Every structure is written in structure tokens, then in C-alpha cells.
Structure 1
Amino acid sequence: MKSIPFILLVLPSALLAETLSIPKPIFFEDKTDHLKPVEFVKNSSNSTADTPIFMSIEQANLDQTITTLLVTKQWQALKIALDSYVKQTNFDPILYRYAKGAMLRAEQDYDGAIALYQQILQAQPQLAYPRFDLGVMLFENKQYREAKQQLNQAKKALDPQMQPLVERYLQAMAERQNWQPDAELQYTQTDNVNNASSEREVEIGGLRFLKNEDSLPQKAHGFRYGLGASREINLSGNHFVAFEGRFSGVHYWDNQDYSEKSLYGSFGYRKHSALQSWGILPFFEQNWLASPRYSKNFGANAEFRRQLNRQWTFSTNFNHTQKRYADENIAQRYNGYINGVSASLSYTANPNWVMFGGVELSKDRTKDKAETSTRKGINIGTLVRYGDVVSRVSLRYVKRHFLADNFYFPKKRLDDEYSVNASLWHNQIQWQGFVPKLNYRYRKIDSNIAAFYSRSSSEWFMTVEKNW
């Protein structure tokens, strides 16, 4: 047991406090000078820089060896040492659980690490530093209620130099469970606000018709806006209740018939851990076009996200939406539902470069079979940071098949949809947290019924966004 007081003094900040990027207290630096480096076999054909081999485990002081490997974070070697240590007749179970728990935490096996530290405290509840370490791991595993309890209990017995560190964790948990507001404002202009085809003539049944000006693409200038807030509250363990509300829209001062507003709200359940999260959130949305209420949507989102390793992340989403239109004539054709599913992968090549891509499938079922369709799509993109300059670019392609023949033409509609989105901003160009971003958006639809449905639009616009 002689190594226990020292190891419990060194490791809480050196290993576990790194989550918040907190500098080591001064007395930790002094203590590490007393550690003797472990002796490894040199020039062995089986040794590597990452996996040292012991000269003679039987002759070594395993307590001291384990302490050294913990402080230096040599996890591969530590695993070998622990396998030998547990076979010793008089091995210390507290040291073994503490060291193995730290190793499992480094391997992101939080359930295993937390269980070992709980066993330590069941045996010796007076140990403050393992309790602090347990609180930190519970924090990282999103178990905020339990983390708060352990940290508050450990705080009373910790060295005064550790008190600010505990407070930072407690403050971080409180902030993460508070309301998270966001706001955006952007100037926008478009050359096709009504999503119309630019072809002036339409041929139906051998007859040629000329479109009026209202049926051709119209320009508009205005601004988009949005104000929202979300919140997640930890109930117990990894279980959360989630809220979200948002009011957004676009106002065109020179074409107000196409101004839109939307009010969205959701309430549901999420389960979070260090590497994984999933949730089910029912929602409701009310939409306005110009002034009258235009439509309302309601349904539910089911989401799943998993960090596969330190570079790869997988996510998927399923959405069911019921659509209801206020106008009876529109409702008779377009009322229905949408089922959609998407999956994506992101790859973090380095801290300044992220790549992502995904696939999507959706089925839009309406009362009018000619407007019922299936979408299949793919998207790719990247986010790159050059110092304080950040750019984001994404590309998307969708193939849309319609179920029945079009009302005007004796064939099923088939669309190819293309889109490009790009953003550029500088992290140091901001005011009170409001960050301006330069954006570009391009949309194009190639339809086999070109006179009605082929169209394109592009726009440059500025946004100002803030996340509190």
C-alpha cells in the first residue's frame, strides 16, 4: 500500500483532468521528480517504442513500475505489468483497480473504468482522489447527476489547490444543462423565389402555350432570420430529457407574397454516453406563407450517433412527418406524410481538417399519386481550418422518381437535383460572439418535364450567427 498515497496524489490531474485542458497544479510537478524510470530490455527484437518489455518482472518493484507507467501513460506496458501484478500472492487490489481503471478510461471503456473505481470506494470510501477521478469519468460519460454527487463529496477532502478544478467541472455541467440559445440573420437575394422553370413555352397535347410573367422566375431581395433555444437535462445515469424551440423565416421586401415564417418545437428523450448517443423527439411545426397559415407538420425524429474511434464518427436519422395544408384545394392533393432515413460518416484527418459524406432515402406520400415520389441521394463535404480562417463546402445529388403519370403529360416525372453550399468565415472577426459568414448556395433541377419543373437558382449572402 505504500505507493497508493503517492499515485492518488499524482494521477487525478495528470490523467483525468485533461478533458477541460486544465494545467497541472504545481505540486504535481514536484512529485513526479521522485519517480524512478522503469527498466526495459534494450535492443530486443520483440520490443517497440510503444510497447516496452520488462528486464525482469520478478525482480522489479511492480508497485513502483505500475506507478511510473501510469504517470507516463504507457498503456501497452501497463497492461503487461497488471497481468503479472494480479498473479502475485500479496497484490494490492486497490492499486490494481486504480491502474486498470485509468487504463480502461484511456481506451475509452468508461463502463469498465467506472465500475472499477466504484469498487475502490466501496472498499475504502474515505479515499478522496479516486472519488474525484470517478467524478471526472462520470462527467466524461455524460452522467452528470452522479458526477456532481461524487465531485461535491470529494471536494471536502481534496487539497485546496484542487478546489478550482472541481468548480470548473461543476460549472461545466451546469452550463451544459442550461438553455442554449442561438440566433442568425442574413441578407439574401434570389433570381427564382417562386421556383419556376425559365422556359416560356409549354406544349400540352400538341398545343403550345405561352407562360405569363407570374409563371416565370421572379427576383426577390430580403433577409433570413432565426432565433431558437435548446436544452437537455440529465435525469439520472445517461438519460436526458430534451427541449428545442425555434422561430425562423425569410422576409422579401420587394416580393412579400413569398415571405415565409416557421415556428418549430420538439420535446423528447435522449441517451448520451462518452462515445454514443441516441434519441426520439416528437415535433410540431407551423408554417406561414405571406400572412395566412399555410401548413402544419408533426411527427418524430429518431437519431443515433456513434464515435467509432478517434477519427471516425457514424450517425443516422429516421424521420416521420405528417403534412397538413390549410387550403382545402391544396390539401386534397398534397396532404400526406414523408418517411426519411439518412446515414453519414465523418473523418477527422487532423484537428484542422474534417471530411464527411452520406446517403439518404425518403418517400413522400400524397393524396395525388402523381405528386407521390421517392428520393435517393448522396452527399459529400469538407471543413478546413487555416489558422483562424474556416471554410466549409458540401455537394449533394438526389434522384427523384414520381409514382404516377403527371397531370399534364402522359409520363412519370423524373428529376435530378443538384446543390452546392459553401461558407467562409474568420474566427477573430466577430463582435460580442456574433460571427459574420460569407455563404454561397446553388440549386439546380433537371426534369424530364422541363417546361414545368426544370429550374436553377444561385445566391451569395452574408449571415451573422451566434451560439451562446
Structure 2
Amino acid sequence: MLYFRYGFLVVWCAAGVSAAYGADAPAILDDKALLQVQRSVSDKWAESDWKVENDAPRVVDGDFLLAHPKMLEHSLRDALNGNQADLIASLADLYAKLPDYDAVLYGRARALLAKLAGRPAEAVARYRELHGENAADERILLDLAAAEFDDFRLKSAERHFAEAAKLDLPAPVLENVGRFRKKTEGLTGWRFSGGISPAVNRNANNAAPQYCRQNGGRQICSVSRAERAAGLNYEIEAEKLTALADNHYLLFRSNIGGTSYYFSKKSAYDDGFGRAYLGWQYKNARQTAGILPFYQVQLSGSDGFDAKTKRVNNRRLPPYMLAHGVGVQLSHTYRPNPGWQFSVALEHYRQRYREQDRAEYNNGRQDGFYVSLAKRLGESATVFGGWQFVRFVPKRETVGGAVNNAAYQRNGVYAGWAQEWRQLGGLNSRVSASYARRNYKGVAAFSTEAQRNREWNVSLALSHDKLSYKGIVPALNYRFGRTESNVPYAKRRNSEVFVSADWRF
């Protein structure tokens, strides 16, 4: 049974030109235009022979609607404009039983059902078929462009929105078409983001805690001390997505980040890392996949390398290249629904160091496998976690007749929670923690066994929406890291508090 109150049944049904711009493309028709359609059609139905006294509801079943095809058609249009999936499914099946049903209206119903059911590829295929048979239908053109946009087929969506922009459409519709085109341009144009923040590092030189060891009956103790330094953390990223055809894209992405201790006159402890990707990416409404070759560099504050007696320049801004490498990343992200996201990535690259002694041990290949899962909790919280596996295989398996002890395998897990505290006026928090075990091959230096490390990291970030300015969002950050090891010189402990300022443009 279908229950209707006739004065409400067709409030979304449009007549004449207005029927081409209904609510099944809600971002294209503004609320004011819809309200005008509502009032117009409601008045027409109030004057018709179907008016029910005292606004009493009437029970309507399928046989009744089949006996009144005009009402069935109006009901289907009403359901289409209201995005009512269950009602569309029921009415479309009834409507198809009519001997002279409108095949275009029925096709629109099937296409919209596919869209509402989360089958965007099917929706695009159906709208394209309709558009091929009804190229002059403005409503189908707009529906097709919107469906292509939803399925991330930006090149064809832009082409169809450009066609719509040339038509004699109502001003509100043209304005919304313009908004879609601007969004498409933003997704395929150059995008930049970055951040810079002051930081105080209690162990800028990454020194191990003091330790002593026995050597030939004598006790030898370390003399290195952790050095405190104030510096600047920096990061910048650039990205350009170029549409090729349908869901296929050419992606360029580069990022570089690090820390400079220039103002503390300790530039020798500067560090940095950069990568640039260029490759193929596939994107649609539910998944993203990519094959991205990349080039990467590892940066250092000193170029002493083999010339150990060279004086260190502690007031230098540009860093030196310590190592570089080339590799490829394979990745896939799947979103079964708006609340879940699953990602997996594989990486393989080869690295080369400039310093000869370091190159002897650390030139080689690194392989990585990464899995992550994120879950949206309500409208203001997200939890996430994952597993990481990395192995390093040196080019030289043995050095000086012994197994190269730079080779290792690392297994790690991490978890985190991001929350928007609306009751606190827009406070945002993010906390994450990780744990990993890194096992080396061969015998560690000054030891009789292989090195075994355990690594902990914790980070916390706080920001507030009201403190943002022209896209710049300041945040208070805290990071803590600790490494325990069976060899004393590999132990580390560090903490850092800093204020970041991230921006996007």
C-alpha cells in the first residue's frame, strides 16, 4: 500500500522547463527555485478534480495507480525529485507496466536508483545511454555531468558542464554549474600546502644516553652528550592531477620537509627528506589506485663525509645531499562506504650514499608493505590504525668477511584518534602512538650478538577552528620517541614541543 496526501504528493513535481532541474541533482537546483516549484504544483493540484475534502488521506495501491497513469507518472517524478530510493523502485516497476510509458523517465529512474544505491559506474553508464539518445535533453545533460563528477570522471564532467553553461538555463542553475566547474578546476589544478613552526629539541644531535663498556679489561665510557637546540620545522608539498580519460589520471606530487637549527648556530644537526612522484592514478567514487615511480633525497647539515677534519659550518641554510634513490610505489585505497577506508601500499627503492664508509654498509634496496584502516565515528571523530613492514637488504651482504650488520627487518603497528570537540567551540585534537621491533642481521659493533631494537613514538596535536587565518591553521604539537636496544649505543630518548602553522593554497 502507498499512502499519499494529495496536497503533498506532487510538491516536488515540476512542470514545463522547471521539470528539467529537479532535486535528484540537488547541488544544481537551489532551494528558492524548488520552493517556487512546490507552490506552483501544489496550487494546480489543489484546483484539480483529485482534491480531497478536509485534507483527508487516501490509501492508494498499485492497481489504483495503474488505473490512473497520469497520477503514477506524477508520483514517479515526485519520487525522482525527492531522491526517495524505495519509492522510486516501487513506482518505476509499476510505471514500466503501462503500455505507453515514457522510456526516458523510466531510464532516469533506473539511473538515479543506481546512483542512490552506491553504484556510480552503473549510474554514469545509464545516464550516458540516455544522453546519447536524448542529446537535447537539458535535465539528462545535467544529471550526467553530476554523476560523472561524483564518480571522479572529471574530464568528461567538465566537458558536459561546459556544454550546460552555454545553454539558456535559469540563473540559479547556471550559478551552480559554475560552482561545479570551479570545483573540478580546483581538483585538477596545482595545489600547494605546507607548514613552518619553531621547535625546541632536547636531543638535536641524536646522541645515545651515556653508557660504558669493557674493552680489554678496561672500562670505556661514552663522551657524547645530548645537545638542546631551537630550530624550525618545515614542510611543503605540491601536487598536480591531470585528467587523461574517465577515471585515469597523471599524478605529480612532491614533498620536502625537515628541521633547520640555523638560528641556534647548530646547522650541522640539520636533517631533511624529500620525494617526487610522477605516475598513473585511477580514481573513482570508491577507490584510488596508483603506480607511482619516485625519486627521493636524504638531506644533512654537514658535507664533511670522508673529509672528517673539515670544519663544520654551523650557520648554513641550504642542506647537503646525504643520500638519494629511485623507486616505485604501488597503492590502493578502498572506501566501501563513507564511514570506512582501507589502504594498502607496496614500495621498493634503491638508495645510494655519498659518504664512502656509509655507502659500503648502507647502499642497497628497501622494501615496504603498509596496511591501514580508518573508521569514522559519527560526524566528529575518526579512529585509525595500521601495520607496517620494512626490510633493508644491503648491496654488499658481507663487509670485511663478516655479515653486513646494516641489514634489518622492521615490524610496526600504530593507532590513533582524531576528534572535533564541537561543545568546546571548535577544538580539534589528534593523538597517535606506534610500536615497532627492528631486528638487524649479523653481529653488532662492540657486541657478540645481533642488534635488537624496540621503538615507541607518541604524538599529540591541538588546534582550534577560530584561530585559523586565511587558510593558515596553527597547532600545538608534542612528540615523544624512545628506542630501547640490547646494545647501549643504539638507545635513544627524545621529546619535542612545537607550534606549527599549516596552510593550503
* TM-score normalised to structure 2 length: 0.83
The residue aligned with 2:138 is 128
- Identity value in percent: 21
User: Which residue is 2:161 aligned to?
Assistant: 151
Do residues 325 (structure 1) and 331 (structure 2) align?
no
How far apart, in 1, do the equivalents of 2:23 and 2:217 lie?
80
- CA shift at 1:424, angstroms? 0.5
More displaced 10-residue stretch of structure 1: 219-228 or 372-381: 219-228
d(CA) in 1 for partners of 2:21, 2:434: 46
SS of match in other structure, 1:14: coil
Report how far residue 222 of structure 1 moved.
1.0
1:56 aligns with 2:67: no
Match of 1:50 in 2: none
Residue of structure 1 equivalent to 2:445: 407
Matches for 1:359-370 after TM superposition, within 5 Å: 359-366=387-394, 367=396, 369-370=404-405
**Contact conserved, 1:183 with 1:227, CA < 8 A, in 2?**
yes
For 1:40, the equivalent position in structure 2 comes to none
Q: Does 1:236 align with 2:245?
A: yes
**In structure 1, what is the Cα distance between the partners aligned to 2:141 and 2:333?**
30
What amino acid maps onto 1:218 in structure 2?
A: E
| SS of residue paired to 2:157 | helix
Partner secondary structure for residue 206 of structure 2: coil
- SS where residue 404 of structure 1 aligns? coil
Tell me how far apart the structure 2 counterparts of residues 142 and 391 of structure 1 sit (CA, whole Å). 30
Aligned twin of 2:318: none
For 1:463, the aligned partner's letter is S
Q: Displacement, 1:91?
A: 2.6
| Number of the residue aligned with 1:314 | 342
Question: 2:89 & 2:325 partners in 1: Cα distance?
Answer: 55
Give the direction of change, closer, same or farther, for the CA distance of 1:261–1:380 in structure 2 (3 Å limit): closer
Which stretch of structure 1 is more off in the superposition, 173-182 or 219-228?
Answer: 219-228
Check 1:228–1:196 CA distance in 2 against 1; reply closer, same or farther (3 A cut): same
What is the letter of the counterpart of residue 376 of structure 1? N
Aligned to 2:408: 373
Paired position in structure 2 for 1:287: 298
**AA aligned opposite 2:136:** Q
Match of 1:440 among 473, 478, 482: 478
1:463 partner SS: strand
Q: Deviations over 1:108-159 (max 9, x none)?
A: 2111111111122222211001101111111121111211221222231422
Please give the alpha-carbon distance, in whole angstroms, between the structure 1 residues aligned to 2:218 and 2:447: 12
C-alpha change, 1:149 and 1:5, in structure 2 (3 Å) is: farther
Give distance in 2, aligned partners of 1:247 and 1:140: 32
State the 1:217 CA deviation: 2.4
Q: Secondary structure in 1 aligned to 2:156? A: helix
Deviation, structure 1 residue 410:
1.4
Structure 1 window deviating more from structure 2 (58-67 vs 370-379): it is 58-67
Determine the structure 2 residue equivalent to 1:76. Answer: 86
Q: Is the 8 A contact 2:13 2:19 kept in 1?
A: no
Summarize the Cα distance change of 1:263–1:418 in structure 2 as closer, same or farther, 3 Å threshold: closer
Separation (CA, whole Å) in 1 of partners of 2:279 and 2:408: 29
Deviation at residue 239 of structure 1 after TM alignment: 1.0
| 1:62 positional shift | 2.6
Answer with 293-302 or 362-371: which moved more: 362-371
Decide whether the 8 Å contact of 2:386 with 2:415 is kept in 1: yes
Q: Which residue of 2 aligns with 1:106?
A: 116
Cα distance in 2 for residues equivalent to 1:317 and 1:180: 23
Larger Rg: 2
The equivalent of 1:177 in structure 2 is 188
Instruction: Letter of the 2:153 partner, please give it.
Output: Q
Confirm or deny: 8 A CA contact 1:128 1:157 kept in the other structure. Answer: no
Name the SS of the counterpart of 1:31 in structure 2: helix
Is 1:30 paired with 2:65?
no
Whether contact under 8 Å (1:129, 1:154) holds in the other structure is no
User: 2:201 matched to which residue of 1?
Assistant: 190
* Aligned mates of 1:344, 1:13 — CA distance in 2: 40
Q: Give, in whole Å, the separation in 2 of the partners of 1:393 and 1:8.
A: 53
Unmatched segments (≥5 aa) in structure 2: 1-11, 47-58, 66-70, 304-320, 398-403
Task: List structure 1 segments (4+ residues) > 6 angstroms apart after TM superposition.
Answer: none
Distance 1:226 1:87, change over 3 A: same
Question: What is the CA–CA distance in structure 2 between the aligned matches of 1:352 and 1:10, rounded to whole Å?
Answer: 37
Aligned residues: 444
SS where residue 64 of structure 2 aligns? coil
1:460 aligns with 2:478: no
| Aligned equivalent of 1:301, options 329, 337, 345 | 329
Conserved? CA contact 1:10–1:32, under 8 Å:
no
Q: Residue type matched to 2:201 in 1?
A: T
Compared CA separation, residues 118 and 6, structure 1 to 2 (3 A) = farther
**In 2 relative to 1, CA 95–8 (structure 1 residues): closer, same or farther, beyond 3 Å?**
farther
Alpha-carbon distance in structure 2 between the residues aligned to 1:317 and 1:147: 29
> Which amino acid letter does the alignment assign opposite residue 322 of structure 1?
R
Letter in 2 for 1:147: A
Question: CA separation of 1:198/1:79 partners in 2, compared to 1, >3 Å: closer, same or farther?
Answer: same
Find the residue that maps to 2:345 and give its secondary structure: strand
- Partner SS for 1:421: strand
Residue in 1 that maps onto 2:228: 219
| 2: CA distance, partners of 1:172 / 1:75 | 27
What CA distance in whole angstroms lies between the structure 1 residues aligned with 2:29 and 2:87? Answer: 26
Query: Quick one: distance in 1 between partners of 2:183 and 2:216?
Result: 68
Give 1:339's aligned residue: 367
- The root-mean-square deviation of aligned C-alpha atoms, in Å, is 2.3
Deviation (angstroms), 1:205: 6.6
Unaligned stretches of 5+ residues in structure 1: 38-53
Which of 88, 93, 96 is the equivalent residue of 1:86?
A: 96
Letter in 1 for 2:23: A
Letter in 2 for 1:237: D
Counterpart in the other structure of 1:46: none
* Partner-residue secondary structure (3-state), 2:337: coil
The CA deviation string for residues 358-386 of structure 1, in whole angstroms up to 9 with x for no partner, is: 11111111236312111111111111011
Residue 87 of structure 1 and its aligned partner are, at CA, apart by 3.7
Shift of 1:313: 0.9
Deviation for aligned residue 1:55? 4.3
Q: CA deviation at 1:254?
A: 3.7
**Is the 1:17–1:136 Cα contact (8 Å) retained in structure 2?**
no
> What is the TM-score of this pair, normalised by structure 1?
0.89
3-state SS in 1 of match to 2:467: coil
The DSSP-based 3-state class of the residue aligned with 2:448 is coil
Q: Distance in 1 between matches of 2:471 and 2:215?
A: 55
